[in-house]
Structure 1
């Protein structure tokens, strides 16, 4: 019986020790009402109405100039979208889905006989961080620690405006 008690205590201690390093943070501040990405500046801003709550340096798609039009073009979309969902099991630490492609993006690509692509996210970096400035396939990338904060602050349905 004494061995069982020690085992239970050990399990509880290990469980509590793991709580301090969780990638899931809590946020109790003002609501993020809009995300803005300024591609030329390589900056992302989280807004509460007209007030900037946070700003971050970002990495973009490996071909950052211009609006994403087709799958594999390496461009980050431009325009107004929304955060579609949270992905806690992302290959890139954590991620927030961006609602690309919208109906206009789809129509344009189909008219050219191509796919618009998809699966555009705001995400953390991969394990073994890539040293290039713009390295994604069209996503917006932050460090893992920054992504943990953004993930806690931004909710699905939040508008995201991606500017040239």
Structure 2
């Protein structure tokens, strides 16, 4: 009975045969996929962080110029949900502030949290997936950025050590810092 319900048996031969001429005359072409960099809004520079590869790629007018090794939050898998979850966020952000940093050489602040992150946080809060610490939920987090390191050995070995930021070796972050302006779009993907 199950096989009949699934259409596996009995097999009939009186089904119509596929005739491409019946479909081609009325077909409309499929829409072109969105450009790979539609999220960057035509910016001169764009950054793509691929968490699963532990890389940060710098693009200039959609052409890949550099790829740097990075380390991430201690719990790198999945998107950041709340302050203290030790995850690196996923989504589209912008560099909103840059400054030299005593501990990490350079720091570039990202526009985290964005609207999607705030909605994710609200859903997690509603679902009970955000811990209550000292009687209150911790919030979605902030101050996530791209920076250098004071733990060069950990970066060289690929050990994720940040609280959610993206860390590069100091010569790499200094080069990147000098190249990209404020407003540079940053895509962080799993």
**TM-score, length-scaled by structure 2:** 0.65
- Once residues 104 and 50 of structure 1 are traced to their aligned partners in structure 2, the CA distance between those partners, rounded to angstroms, is 25
The correspondence for 1:119, drawn from 131, 135, 143, is 143
Counterpart residue number, 1:5: none
Q: 1:86: Cα distance to partner?
A: 0.3
Moved over 6 A (4+): none
The correspondence for 1:151, drawn from 177, 186, 189, is 177
Which is worse superposed, 112-121 or 60-69?
112-121
Counterpart check, 1:109 vs 2:135: no
**TM-score, length-scaled by structure 1:** 0.75
CA RMSD of aligned residues (A): 1.9
Structure 1: gaps of 5 or more residues: 1-30
Q: 1:103: Cα distance to partner?
A: 2.5
Task: Count how many residue pairs are aligned between Structure 1 and Structure 2.
Answer: 134
Q: 1:93: Cα distance to partner?
A: 1.3
Residues 12-27 of structure 1 aligned to structure 2 (within 5 Å): none
Deviations 1:7-27 (A, max 9, x none): xxxxxxxxxxxxxxxxxxxxx
Q: Does structure 2 conserve the Cα–Cα contact (< 8 Å) formed by 1:106 and 1:115? A: no
Counterpart residue number, 1:49: 61
Q: Does structure 1 conserve the Cα–Cα contact (< 8 Å) formed by 2:70 and 2:158? A: no
Larger Cα-atom Rg: 2
- Once residues 89 and 124 of structure 1 are traced to their aligned partners in structure 2, the CA distance between those partners, rounded to angstroms, is 9
Q: 1:90: Cα distance to partner?
A: 4.9
Counterpart residue number, 1:3: none
Counterpart residue number, 1:95: 107
- Once residues 85 and 184 of structure 2 are traced to their aligned partners in structure 1, the CA distance between those partners, rounded to angstroms, is 26
Q: Secondary structure at the match of 1:146?
A: helix
Q: 1:49: Cα distance to partner?
A: 1.9
Q: 1:50: Cα distance to partner?
A: 2.0
Q: Secondary structure at the match of 1:94?
A: strand
Deviations 1:105-134 (A, max 9, x none): 224324515400111111000167546610
Counterpart check, 1:139 vs 2:151: no
